[in-house]
Chains A and B, each alone.
Chain A
Amino acid sequence: MRNINPYSVVATRKRKRESSARVLWWTKLVLVVVVSLLLREPLSVYLLNNTANRLDQLLFRTGAVLVGMTALQTYTDVVRHPERFIFGVHPIRSQLFLRSVATQQLLHSFWYVLLSIGVWSGVSIDWIGWIVAYVISAWLGGVGAGYAVHLGSVWAAKASVMSGVLDSIRGANPREQAAFIYAPGIVLALMGVGLIFGAGATRLAIEGRMGFAAWILAPLVIGIAGWFTALRLAEVHLIRAGMVLSDIDTHWGVVEEAEDETAVYLDWLAKDNPHRLRLLRQSWRLHRWITIGLWVLGSVVALMQWLGDEFEVRLASGLLATIFVVFPAKLLQHEPQWLQWSLGIDRFTQWRAVIEVSGLVWLGYCIPIGIVQLSTGAASVQLFGTLLLMVPLFGLVAWFDLIGRTRQGVAVGLLASAGIWLSAIGIGS
Chain B
Amino acid sequence: MHIEVQGLTKSYGSVKAVKNLSFTLNPGDFVGFIGGNGAGKSTTIKMLTGQLIPSSGSIRIGGEDCVVNPQIARERIGYVPEFPELYTYLTGREMLEFVCSVRLGADLERGIAIAGLGDDIDRLIREYSQGMRRKMAIACAMVSKPPILVLDEALNGLDPSSVKRITALLEEERDAGTIIMLSTHVLDTLESRATRILYIDDGELISDCGIEGLNEIRERL
Contacts and interface: CB of A to CB of B under 8 A. Distances in A.
B108 to A, nearest CB: 10
Interface stretch (A7-15, A105-113, A132-140): A7-15
B81 A250 contact: no
A91 B102 contact: yes
A18 B15 contact: no
Interface residues of A, number: 33
Contacts of A403: none
Nearest to B53: A243
A186 to B, nearest CB: 23
A158 interface: yes
Given A240-B70, A243-B51, A255 B99 contact: no
A246 B12 CA distance: 12
Interface string A45-66: 0000000000000000000000
B21 interface: no
Contacts of A93: 102
Q: Is the interface of B mostly helix, strand, loop or mixed?
A: mixed
A88 B51 contact: yes
A85 B88 CA distance: 13
Nearest to B100: A1
Contact of A10 (B17, B87, B141): B87
Contact of A90 (B70, B103, B124): B103
Interface string B86-98: 1101100010011
B70 to A, nearest CB: 5
A122 interface: no
A426 B80 CA distance: 55
A48 to B, nearest CB: 49
Contacts of A246: 46, 51-52
Contacts of A90: 74, 99, 102-103, 140
Contact of A255 (B13, B53, B84, B140): B13
Nearest to B46: A246
Contact of A86 (B51, B53, B71, B86): B86
A23 interface: no
B17 A158 contact: no
Contact of B101 (A4, A88, A239, A254): A4
A239 B67 CA distance: 12
Contacts of B52: 243, 246-247, 250
Contacts of B86: 86
Interface in A3-53: 4, 6, 9-10, 13-14, 17-18
Contacts of B98: 6, 9-10
Interface residues of B, number: 35
Contacts, number: 87
B212 interface: no
B211 to A, nearest CB: 28
Contacts of B99: 90
Contacts of B89: 13-14, 17-18
Contacts of A251: 12-13
Contact of B74 (A9, A14, A239): A239
A387 to B, nearest CB: 38
B81 A85 contact: yes
Nearest to B89: A17
B44 interface: no
A242 B53 contact: no
B44 to A, nearest CB: 13
A423 to B, nearest CB: 38
| Residue in A14, A89, A250, A254 whose Cβ sees the most chain B Cβ within 10 Å | A89
A17 B74 contact: no
Contacts of B84: 89
Contacts of A14: 87, 89
A243 B101 CA distance: 22
A339 to B, nearest CB: 18
Contact of A239 (B12, B71, B81, B140): B71
Given A86-B86, A243-B53, A91 B103 contact: yes
Nearest to A257: B15
B75 interface: yes
Contacts of B94: 13
A91 B85 contact: no
A17 B101 CA distance: 21
Given A6-B98, A91-B71, A255-B15, 13 more contacts: A4-B101, A13-B87, A13-B94, A17-B124, A83-B85, A85-B85, A89-B80, A90-B102, A92-B74, A93-B102, A239-B74, A251-B13, A254-B15
29 contacts: A6-B98, A10-B98, A14-B87, A17-B124, A83-B85, A83-B87, A85-B81, A86-B86, A86-B87, A88-B51, A89-B79, A89-B84, A89-B140, A89-B141, A90-B102, A91-B74, A92-B102, A93-B102, A239-B70, A240-B53, A240-B70, A243-B50, A243-B70, A246-B51, A246-B52, A247-B52, A250-B17, A251-B13, A254-B15
